[in-house]
Amino acid sequence: MSRYMLLCCALFCAQAQADDEAYQQCLLQYQSQVEIPETAALVRNACNHVHRELVMLPRKKAYWQCVLDYVAPVKTREVMADLLQVCRERHDFRK
């Protein structure tokens, strides 16, 4: 039984390390595009949801990926609000 627990722990640790690397890569890719301060927190949150949340509905993951793809490079708060609304409408994970 202890071998099984040890194997599970090793697999979990390896997965956590891979997720951390993906999270860091996500930050490198999208934070460099950020132009307004509020967007930085959104990008961090989105990277966390996409790469560190263990169980996620596909529509929820699609919403956070939409945020990363479209919100990071915006230049005004008005555009950011519009794009967030579109991501919510397209990937409503509450349904």
pTM of the model: 0.75
Residues 36 and 89: their CA atoms lie apart, in Å, by 23
Residues shown for the chain = 95
Write the pLDDT tens digit of every residue in 17-76: 458 999 999 999 999 999 999 999 999 999 999 999 877 788 999 999 999 999 999 999
Cα separations (Å) of 46 from 4, 5, 6, 73, 88?
Answer: 34, 32, 32, 14, 13
- pLDDT score recorded for residue 75: 92
- Helix axis angle for 37-52 and 77-90, nearest 10°, is 30
Residue 82: CB atoms within 10 Å = 14
